[in-house]
Amino acid sequence: MLRYICKRILLLIPVLIGVSILIFVIIHLAPGDPAEAMLGPGATAQDLEQLRANLGLDRPLTTQYFIFLTNTLKGDLGRSIRTNNPVLEELLDRFKPSFTLASLSILLALSIGIPLGIIAALNQHTWADNLCNFIALTGFSLPNFWLGLMLMLLLSIYIPILPSSGYGTWRQLIMPVVILGTDTMAVMARMTRSAMLEVIRQDYVRTAKAKGLAWRLILMRHILTNVLIPVVTIAGLLFGNMLGGVVITETVFSIPGVGRLVIDAIRFHDYPVVQGGVLFFAFCLSVVNLAVDLLYALLDPRIKAQYRAG
């Protein structure tokens, strides 16, 4: 398995290089000038040229990219154009709120979505199945920004029991976690239901029933073990997306996370922060995918044998 882990880590290098090229080109094709954003509309042409030279923006794009790539390989993502702070330092400072929000949201989604999917599958075409499907469909259909505003209106204005924004206390995390976990819960519920129905129809489940095994043993040893494999896959992908995709939730609730940092950097044309943020997202997603692949070995002995053979 160590050999497999080393291979996956080496594969991260071309992936991150490809992401860096793509985001570098997109950023520099976007309209706007960082120098004008920093100095304002009243700046003179001489001041703009001087600032571009200081920031290295007057060099050819290929030169700017190779400088960025060389520094990145050394662990230096550059400095923010706005604050002049190291980009890596700003990303790490903002990572804790994003990680906390994503972790609590995925735990909430799993703790509700998986039981809903199991109940729906075990009671197919009954009122329980219809109710679980209705809850999942509702959670999947509600936009995050709309649900966030409605909860703020209800729980912060009409019934003022929760703070409307901010980060630092557990009460400030309740609404963002619920909002971010709602659509994820719906996806997990639908995925669990589909996987359960597929596994229940397999021959080995029928054989276990024919042997007279208790239904609880069949459910725990044969059904849920196989259901968890696709569920873990989806959960890992959703968690990775949460780490880099909580921009709307962080913006609505004024949470100082990585997503909000990147959005603010885009508004001010802060190239180093945007490039570093996207690379950081890609790295986090790759690490999560690697962790999911390793979890397969714990859930499926066949995959563990493939790791050893590889």
Give me 132's structure tokens: 């679980």
11 found inside a domain = no
What confidence category does residue 301 fall into, taking pLDDT thresholds of 50, 70 and 90?
A: low
23 found inside a domain = no
Q: What is the pLDDT, as a whole number, of residue 180? A: 87
Which residues are registered as beta bridge partners of 147?
none
Model pTM score: 0.80
209: CATH: 1.10.3720.10
Pair 162, 203 in one domain: yes
Pair 204, 69 in one domain: no
Q: Tens of pLDDT along 3-45?
A: 767 777 787 788 888 888 888 888 777 776 677 766 667 777 7
Pair 152, 269 in one domain: yes
Pair 138, 266 in one domain: yes
pLDDT of 300 > 70? The answer is no
Q: What is the pLDDT, as a whole number, of residue 308? A: 57
Pair 193, 278 in one domain: yes
Q: Tens of pLDDT along 102-161?
A: 899 999 999 999 999 999 988 888 999 999 989 988 888 888 888 888 888 888 888 888
Q: What is the pLDDT, as a whole number, of residue 130? A: 92
Q: Tens of pLDDT along 174-223?
A: 999 998 888 889 999 999 999 888 888 888 888 888 888 888 888 887 78
Query: For 44, phi and psi rounded to 5 degrees?
Result: -85, 165
**Across all residues in the chain, what is the average pLDDT?**
82
24 found inside a domain = no
Among residues 23, 54, 76, the one where a domain terminates is 76
Pair 110, 42 in one domain: no
Pair 173, 254 in one domain: yes
Pair 244, 114 in one domain: yes
Q: What is the pLDDT, as a whole number, of residue 111? A: 92
Give ∠ CA 83-253-103 in degrees, rounded to 5. 90
Q: Find out whether 94 and 256 touch, Cβ atoms under 8 Å.
A: yes
Mean pLDDT across the stretch 64-89?
83
Pair 70, 120 in one domain: no
Q: What is the pLDDT, as a whole number, of residue 306? A: 58
What confidence category does residue 244 fall into, taking pLDDT thresholds of 50, 70 and 90?
A: low
Number of helices (H), then strands (E), belonging to the chain: the values are 15, 0
- Proportion of the chain above pLDDT 70, given as a percent: 91
Cα 15 to the center of its chain, rounded Å: 17
Q: What is the pLDDT, as a whole number, of residue 107? A: 92
3 found inside a domain = no
Among residues 13, 42, 76, the one where a domain terminates is 76
16 found inside a domain = no
Among residues 47, 76, 105, the one where a domain terminates is 76
Pair 171, 262 in one domain: yes
Split into its structural domains, the chain has a count of 2
Q: What is the pLDDT, as a whole number, of residue 23? A: 82
Pair 42, 123 in one domain: no
Query: Which range of residues forms the domain containing residue 64?
Result: 32-76
Q: Find out whether 125 and 274 touch, Cβ atoms under 8 Å.
A: no
Mean pLDDT across the stretch 42-66?
78
Distance CA 178, CA 180 (A): 6
Q: What is the DSSP letter of 220?
A: I
Q: Which residue did the predictor score with more confidence, 221 or 163? A: 163
pLDDT of 310 > 60? The answer is no
Pair 71, 197 in one domain: no
19 found inside a domain = no
